């Protein structure tokens, strides 16, 4: 009987290290000699539904190894959420039909909470119809909001980028504040959880260092309190640096960005907190200001990735294969932090039933009592995650990133109508 193949796909917003997880999956599968070919979905789960499967065996070993230091989603990602099995059974039947046609017995989905939900649902459906399929979710989210894992691959590198960018921008502002900019606002990602904003606090190394204000989604925003803090800081230090989470909300739970559009997962599309805050400052005090949005830069900055993050991303991709070959399904490999003073970690596992659609918020004891900064407990948690450098190789001053052939396998099934109509 031929060895069963594997399907791997990337989902949701990509990161600086999601391809390191892909590298871990592909290299571990090849080393195992118990898996045939790893097919990668072109554009996430859509690749399975459309039967657009990339044959990773057509890539050289060198190219696959380069994935470890290549940012973004090498195989294409997507924001597409499978509905409940009873709501749209045909999509699940389609997935099983594609997997049967290509002898796929292992399913690896690399993503955040919605992606873990997809993996969990597929595990349930495959069991219901009696199709043998090991479904393993691989954690990935810069928001760091998945439960039951100490942290999420992708977060450590964003945290490092934000901490360094805050520190460097603060030096710029401090040098010009006497006659120029007095307020600088850096807007960072983080829909409901303030993990990324908290990382900006790592730039504080002594009293008076920036950021002077961190705005967390977990702390209701109070306009007058904020403005008083800005004015006091400018008068004391000559300038004020603010790190603001895109998910900042007022006491009524309304986002400061005020967006009404949603993405394919049904989440409100955020962005615009920084200019909103800047306008408040300008109208009240007239201070010269600048603001910036870290936006895609924070999640694609592989040139300054955390070595801890890269190592963990690869290890969880590798572990996913080992779990599948052990016959496990409906689980997610996790990062388990050691208990000693010196940072250590190992790979654990968590049931997808307890992971899917659950958000892990920033603990209140990680936020200072006044709500503007981080505590020593937060610093102890965050600092190891940004540790170490893992620079990509460079040529002519630019990093060398993987370029894939992305050879698609021959289709064996008719087009899937529901998706064909949307394309």
pLDDT tens by residue, 17-67: 999 999 999 999 999 989 999 999 999 999 999 999 999 999 999 999 999
pLDDT at 375 over 80: yes
340 vs 387: CA distance, rounded Å: 17
Residue 4: what pLDDT?
97
Residue 422 is predicted with a pLDDT of 46
Q: Rounded to whole angstroms, how far apart are CA atoms 248 and 270?
A: 10
Q: What mean pLDDT is predicted for residues 285-297?
A: 96
Predicted local distance difference test score (pLDDT) of residue 421: 42
Contact 229, 368 (CB under 8 A): no
pLDDT at residue 404 greater than cutoff 80: yes
Q: What is the pLDDT of residue 260?
A: 45
Who has greater pLDDT, 142 or 416? Answer: 142
Paired residues of 137 in beta bridges: 109
Instruction: With a cut of 70, say whether residue 70 has pLDDT above it.
Output: yes
Q: Both tokens of residue 137?
A: 């979710």
Residue 246 has pLDDT above 50, yes or no: yes
Of 27 and 192, the structure prediction assigns the larger pLDDT to 27
DSSP assignment of 78-130, as one string? -------TTT-HHHHHHHHHHHHHTTEEEEEEEESHHHHHHHHHHHHHHHHHT
The arithmetic mean of pLDDT across residues 405-417, rounded, is 93
Please tell me the predicted confidence (pLDDT) of residue 270.
58
pLDDT for 249: 92
**Is pLDDT above 60 for 266?**
no
Question: Do 183 and 287 contact (CB within 8 A), yes or no?
Answer: yes
Catalytic residues: 143
Q: SS3 for 13?
A: coil
pLDDT at 222 over 70: yes
Backbone φ, ψ for residue 388 (5° rounding): 85, 150
C-alpha–C-alpha distance, residues 22 and 2, integer Å: 24
Distance of alpha carbon 372 from alpha carbon 204, whole angstroms: 12
Question: What residue ranges define each of the domains in the chain, with the CATH number in brackets?
Answer: 5-141+304-357+390-420 (3.40.50.450), 155-296+366-386 (3.40.50.460)
Give the closest residue to 142 by CA, choosing from 74, 196, 69, 80.
Answer: 196
Q: What average pLDDT is seen over the chain?
A: 94
Q: What is the pLDDT of residue 372?
A: 98
Distance CA 190, CA 70 (A): 23
**Burial (CB count <10 Å: 0-12, 13-18, 19+), residue 374:** buried
The H or E element that residue 318 is part of is: helix 307-325
Per-residue pLDDT band at 271 (split at 50, 70, 90)? low
pTM: 0.94
User: Would you state the torsion angle of the CA atoms of residues 199, 205, 208, 210, taken in this order, to the nearest 10 degrees?
Assistant: -30
pLDDT of residue 423: 43
pLDDT given at position 2: 83
Flag whether pLDDT at 420 surpasses 50.
no
For position 1, what pLDDT does the model report? 67
Give percent above pLDDT 70 in the chain.
95
Q: Model confidence over 116-138: pLDDT tens digits?
A: 999 999 999 999 999 999 999 99
- Confidence (pLDDT) at 268: 53
Candidates 68, 79, 71, 5; CA nearest to 44 is: 79
> 351-356 contacts: CB < 8 A, separation 24 or more?
352/116, 352/117, 352/119, 352/120, 352/123, 352/135, 352/137, 353/120, 354/147, 354/148, 355/113, 355/116, 355/120, 355/137, 355/146, 355/147, 355/148, 356/113, 356/116, 356/117, 356/119, 356/120
């Amino acid at each position: 009987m031929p060895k069963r193949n594997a399907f791997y796909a990337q989902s949701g917003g990509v990161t600086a290290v999601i391809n390191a997880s892909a590298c871990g999956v592909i290299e571990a599968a090849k080393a195992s000699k118990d898996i045939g070919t790893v097919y990668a979905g072109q554009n996430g789960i859509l690749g399975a539904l459309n039967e657009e499967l990339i044959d990773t065996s057509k890539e050289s070993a060198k190219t696959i190894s380069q994935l470890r230091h290549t940012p973004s989603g090498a195989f294409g990602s997507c924001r597409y959420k499978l509905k409940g099995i009873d709501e749209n059974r045909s999509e699940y039947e389609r997935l099983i039909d594609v997997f049967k046609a290509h002898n796929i017995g292992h399913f690896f989905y690399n993503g955040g909470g919605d992606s873990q939900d997809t993996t969990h649902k597929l595990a349930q459906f495959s069991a219901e119809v009696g199709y043998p399929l090991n479904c393993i979710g691989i954690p990935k989210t810069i928001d760091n909001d998945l439960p039951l894992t100490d942290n999420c691959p992708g977060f450590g590198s964003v945290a490092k980028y934000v901490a360094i960018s805050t520190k460097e921008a603060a030096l710029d502002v401090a040098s010009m504040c006497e006659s120029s900019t007095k307020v600088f606002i850096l807007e960072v990602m983080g829909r409901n959880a303030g993990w990324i904003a908290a990382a900006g606090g790592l730039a504080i190394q002594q009293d008076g260092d920036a950021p002077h204000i961190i705005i967390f989604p977990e702390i209701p925003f109070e306009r007058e309190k904020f403005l008083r803090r800005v004015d006091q800081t400018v008068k004391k230090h000559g300038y004020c640096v603010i790190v603001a989470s895109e998910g900042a909300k007022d006491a009524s739970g309304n986002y400061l960005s005020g967006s009404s559009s949603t993405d394919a997962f049904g989440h409100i599309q955020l962005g615009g907190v920084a200019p909103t805050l800047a306008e408040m400052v300008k109208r009240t005090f007239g201070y010269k200001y600048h603001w910036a949005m870290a936006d895609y830069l924070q999640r694609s900055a592989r040139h300054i990735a955390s070595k801890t993050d890269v190592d963990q991303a690869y290890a969880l991709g590798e572990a996913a294969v080992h779990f599948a070959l052990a016959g496990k399904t409906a689980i997610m490999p996790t990062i388990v932090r050691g208990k000693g003073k010196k940072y250590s970690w190992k790979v654990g596992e968590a049931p997808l039933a307890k992971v899917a659609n659950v958000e892990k918020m920033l603990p209140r004891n990680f936020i200072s009592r006044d709500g503007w900064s981080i505590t020593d407990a937060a610093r102890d948690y965050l600092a190891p995650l940004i540790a170490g450098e893992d620079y990509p190789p460079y040529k002519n001053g630019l990093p060398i990133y993987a370029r894939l052939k992305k050879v698609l396998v021959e289709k064996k099934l008719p087009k899937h109508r529901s998706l064909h109509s949307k394309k």
